[in-house]
Amino acid sequence: MIRFLLRRLALLAITLLITSAVIFALTQLLPGDVARLILGREARPEAIAALREDLGLNNSVPQQYIDWLTGFVTGDWGRSFVSGNPLIRPLVMDRLGNSLRLAGFTLLISVPLSVFLGVISGLNENKFVDNAISIFTLSVVGLPEFVTGLVLINVFALGLGWFPASATAPADASLGDWIRQLILPAITATFVLMAYIVRMTRAGVIDELKKSYVRTATLKGLPRRTVIIKHVLRNALLPTITVVALSFGWLIGGLIVIENVFSYPGLGRLMTNAVERKDIPLMQAVVMVVIFFFAIANLLADVVYALLNPRIRLD
Amino acid sequence: MTQTTPIIEARALSIEYKFGRVWLNALHDVNLTIYPNEIHGLVGESGSGKSTLALALMRYMAGNARISGGTIVFDGVDITRTTPTEMRAIWGSKIALVPQDALASLNPSYTIGEQIAEIGRLHLSLDARTAWACGIDMLRRVKIADPEAVAARYPHQLSGGMQQRVTIAMALTTKPRLLILDEPTTALDVTTQAVIVDLFRELIRENDAAALYVSHDLGLIAQLCDRVTVLYGGEVMASASIENVFKHPIHPYTISLLASLPRPVNPTHGMETRLPTIEGVAPSLADRPKACVFAPRCPAAIAICHTEKPPLEQINAERTVRCHRWREIADCTLVIDTAPKLIEMSAPPEAGMVLDADHLEKTFGGESMFGRLTKRNGVHAVDDVSVHINRRSTLGLVGESGSGKTTLARLIVGLEATDDGNLHLLNAPLNAAVDARSRDELRQIQMIFQNPNDAMNPFMSVGETLARTLKRLSSQPMTTAQIDARVAELLESVRLPMDYAARYPTELSGGEKQRVAIARAFATTPALIVADEPTSALDVSVQSVILNLLKDLRGQHGTSYLFISHDLKAVAYLADWIAVMYLGEIVEEGTSEHVYTMPSHPYTEALISAIPVPDPTIKSKQIRLHGDPPSARNIPTGCRFHTRCPRKIGAICETDVPPYRDAGGEHFIRCHIPVEELARLQQDSPNPILDAQI
């Protein structure tokens, strides 16, 4: 187990190293001179030259990469290009906290709900309930997030006034306020995730129900409930773990539309802002953080999968 | 037979399956009675409805099935009318199932101990600790060494034989009155099967239970059961005591089935034999004949058989039969010819060498960097094996699973590269890897696989499959017309109608698919065909057809075979030379006659004695190999077989590698016991299987 973890962590480090190089290379391809971008079109050539020297832009590209990477690893993530040139790290960390909160809350809602619906669907393969669940989940996943988000805002925020329309909570807000603000974006994200998790769970249940061990369990005389919960679900839910882990990665870095619709200050929105402003150091930092969480979620999924599946040996 | 109250009795039972909008009869008017202390055999080919019947006796049916008539009385209660709750009190407690595929039938995520303890908690109201202890006790009763350790393991960590023991332990926990055994040994090696069958016999008697034993293996039924019911096309053809069915069969199906069993024959010089076969294929559910279901394939069918369904007649207290002509058969006015046909040998084996494999070596996993780092031994699958195959001859290769026989086949075909050793084809050196071989070399060696379902591309018609081989491998380019003509010729040679060229694999039966596989192998008229268990996935009645076909084609084309099988009877029927493999090594080889009739190596002797003889009056030699074969990762020192050898002579077997001695007449044996001594042991206790006349 420990050897497995060490190997996987080493692999994770390599993954991050490679992606960091790719990201860095891609940002090099972006058109325009960074110094001019910062100082504006009217800047004097001397000022630009001075800034270029200051930013290390005159060094060779590999040298720039190594400087950036060492900075990143040692915690010096540099400064943003936007006015005021704030430090990047506190900014990203703050947004990361918000994203983690939203991701966690969304999973709390979507996983139990989707797994429940998936199990019901799988147990009633091709019957009315199954079809109804399939139609519902597939139609909400088909709707773009800005549509479901806006409908939810119109009905529950503007119409009924139960929840706030914008999810910009102050840092010192109470837990209740936090939850009230997270509910609408979390539901919107759940609509997207639900179909994947429901389909996966449904397929798992249907697959497992066909296996001979289910017949063995039934012919032991076990009640149907025990056969399903103890024997079938134990195996049927294993593939769902992977889907949940992938969803977590998406929730951290991929909620660009949802965060914009609800003006939620998460990493997704920070990223769009960075792109709009060609704020390259910020972009690099956000992407690195998102990829880190993606990789960690996958590693966790593999560990949990292996712990629950005795057929997989970790070594 | 004394007429006590039956444990279970099915009367006029009919079961239907729903396909689309129609209901099709899976079982029709089936009667089956099992008395206390009886082991009742249920024989039938695939599609006969035997598994449906076995599970229906537990009132367990597929979602699209229904009982459309009849009753099943178990323990005085008609269980066709019970509620699911009532059935749950019977399942696992009064009737228990030992399933076919033990690994698939155990939940992969729970330990063995938990899966047995669950039954004790449910039916015997034991607390967790007592139930666990009871489970360990059950494991001990099915003769699992170190039951505490096994209880803590997961199903995939056990060998096939151990897994099957676990399912038996589970079934017996509650001392059920009736055991349903659904082909419980079909997936096991013949040596393991013999041990498990002994265990069944002992435990069923000990528990005072009755059992239904479902199998397609007539030998096994003959050796284990008291009575037998023969099922065909969803109907009972005959039912009688085991002696009557095997010694005085009166139903044409039973007679033909027994006659078609492969067995070695010693024809007179210059002649060879063909097994009697049952023509045609078993009808599918949708097109079962309205009259006698067996009539289209019956050698004794007359006009009435095609127009009127014969009733299931009760001949006497213990015997039933469903045939219009059973009286004629019973009083010998109608004789169904079951003697193997003797035909002139069209092409006797020749001296010319086709394949020469010298000192082949193959180890898996040992060479990789990871393997070296972790200091794990590689799997030494083939260790210094040499085989030679002459023109027009057949080398039969036998051994348990894990003996390396399939690896050897793959080395010869080139699917695996040899680590060491030389291959020669038709006296020319042959490249080890298949992709380094020339078109001509590829054409000369072809392969037939075990499972015809997996070996055919489902999106290619039979004609396309054959044409593709011709296009890829023919020595000169062929025109479309030439290819079509050759495809037709090939289909004819495997006795398939011409229009089969347009069919897709899903439209063929298992036997038909295997014929296409054979046609494909012969497409390039190869010098050597490697056939890896080509008949094991097939029904008994189809098996003999395929074996005959292989014999015919060998004569016509002068092809040689490397025939791999765990079925020694099939090997002895087809091969003229047999090599026996154990843990990557050949332990005995010689002519088919020598090895089969005078099995001298203790391992060969045990293999042959483990074959159940399809004759209830002959009890086979009780040589049992206990334990599983050692892992090829850790091969025992000295003689590899010493850990299981029933004739081990002492320390020398553990320390010294035995010599490979010539016992005369090109019969080689790898054993420390002198060949004269081995021969004497055989004369003292000849193998009774050789006396079996059916």
Question: B156: which chain A residues are within 8 Å (Cβ-Cβ)?
Answer: 310-311
pLDDT band at B116 (very low <50, low <70, confident <90, very high): very high
B370 & B393 share domain: yes
Distance CA B184, CA B166 (A): 12
- Using the Cβ of A218 and the Cβ atoms of chain B, whether some distance falls under 8 Å is answered with yes
B265 & B117 share domain: no
Q: What does pTM read for this prediction?
A: 0.84
Q: Is residue B295 part of a domain?
A: yes
Q: Is residue B163 part of a domain?
A: yes
How does strand B577-582 pair with strand B585-591?
antiparallel
Question: Residue B116 in contact with residue B170, Cβ under 8 Å?
Answer: yes
Whether residue A287 has pLDDT greater than 80:
yes
- Write the CB contacts of B48 (distance below 8 Å, at least 6 apart in sequence): B231, B232, B233, B234, B282
Looking up residue B546, the CATH number of its domain turns out to be 3.40.50.300
Token representation of residue A79: 């400064």
Residue B33: what pLDDT?
A: 93
**Residue B435: DSSP 8-state:** G
Q: Is B100 exposed, middle or buried (0-12, 13-18, 19+ CB in 10 A)?
A: buried
Averaged pLDDT, B660-666: 85
Residue B561: what pLDDT?
A: 94
Q: How many C-alpha atoms does B45 have within 13 Å on its Cβ side?
A: 24
Q: Is residue B181 part of a domain?
A: no
B367 & B461 share domain: yes
Tell me which of A275-279, B391-395, B484-488 is least confident: A275-279
3-state secondary structure of B207: coil
pLDDT band at B265 (very low <50, low <70, confident <90, very high): low
Strand locations in B282-374 (E): 313-316, 319-321, 341-344, 353-364
Question: A207: which chain B residues are within 8 Å (Cβ-Cβ)?
Answer: none
Q: Is residue B149 part of a domain?
A: yes
Residues of chain B with pLDDT > 90, as a percent, come to: 43
Q: Is residue B48 part of a domain?
A: no
Which of B541, B510, B512 is closest to B43 using CA atoms? B541
B627 & B678 share domain: yes
CB-nearest partner of B91 from A211, A219, A231? A219
B157: nearest CA partner in chain A: A311
**Residue A221: DSSP 8-state:** T
Question: A213: which chain B residues are within 8 Å (Cβ-Cβ)?
Answer: 104-108
DSSP B489-553: HHHHHTT--GGGGG--GGGS-HHHHHHHHHHHHHTT--SEEEEESTTTTS-HHHHHHHHHHHHHH
Q: CA B593, B599, B604, B607 torsion: positive or negative?
A: positive
Question: B101: which chain A residues are within 8 Å (Cβ-Cβ)?
Answer: 212
pLDDT band at B693 (very low <50, low <70, confident <90, very high): very low
CB-nearest partner of A220 from B92, B108, B156? B92
Tell me if B109 and A212 make a contact (CB, 8 A cut-off).
no
Q: What are phi and psi of A35, to 5 degrees?
A: -65, -40
B523 & B641 share domain: no
Q: Is residue B376 part of a domain?
A: yes
**Residue B151: DSSP 8-state:** H
pLDDT band at B131 (very low <50, low <70, confident <90, very high): very high
B120: nearest CA partner in chain A: A220
Token representation of residue B273: 């034999």
Q: Is residue B213 part of a domain?
A: no
B324 & B408 share domain: no
Count the neighbouring beta carbons within 10 Å of the beta carbon of residue A70: 10
Question: Residue A212 in contact with residue A165, Cβ under 8 Å?
Answer: no
Range of the domain at B680: 597-691
B513 & B536 share domain: yes
- Using the Cβ of A278 and the Cβ atoms of chain B, whether some distance falls under 8 Å is answered with no
How far apart, in Å, are the Cα atoms of B542 and each of B110, B362, B469? 39, 35, 25
B449 & B574 share domain: yes
B564 & B500 share domain: yes
Tell me which of A5-9, B1-5, B39-43, B673-677 is least confident: B1-5
pLDDT in tens, B382-393: 989 999 998 888
B547 & B613 share domain: no
pLDDT in tens, B393-409: 899 999 888 888 989 99
pLDDT band at A130 (very low <50, low <70, confident <90, very high): very high
- How many domains does chain B contain in total? 4
Whether residue A169 has pLDDT greater than 70:
no
Question: B99: which chain A residues are within 8 Å (Cβ-Cβ)?
Answer: 212, 215-216
Treating both helix axes as pointing N-terminal to C-terminal, what angle do B252-259 and B540-557 enclose, rounded to 10 degrees? 50
Q: Which helix (H) or strand (E) holds B239?
A: strand B235-241
Whether residue B1 has pLDDT greater than 50:
no
pLDDT in tens, B7-39: 999 999 999 998 888 899 899 999 999 998 899
Mean pLDDT over the full length of chain B: 87
Amino acid at B72: I
Distance CA A290, CA A271 (A): 10
Q: Is residue B47 part of a domain?
A: no
Whether residue B626 has pLDDT greater than 80:
no
pLDDT band at B694 (very low <50, low <70, confident <90, very high): very low
Token representation of residue B478: 């062929």
Mean pLDDT over the full length of chain A: 84
Residue B380: what pLDDT?
A: 84
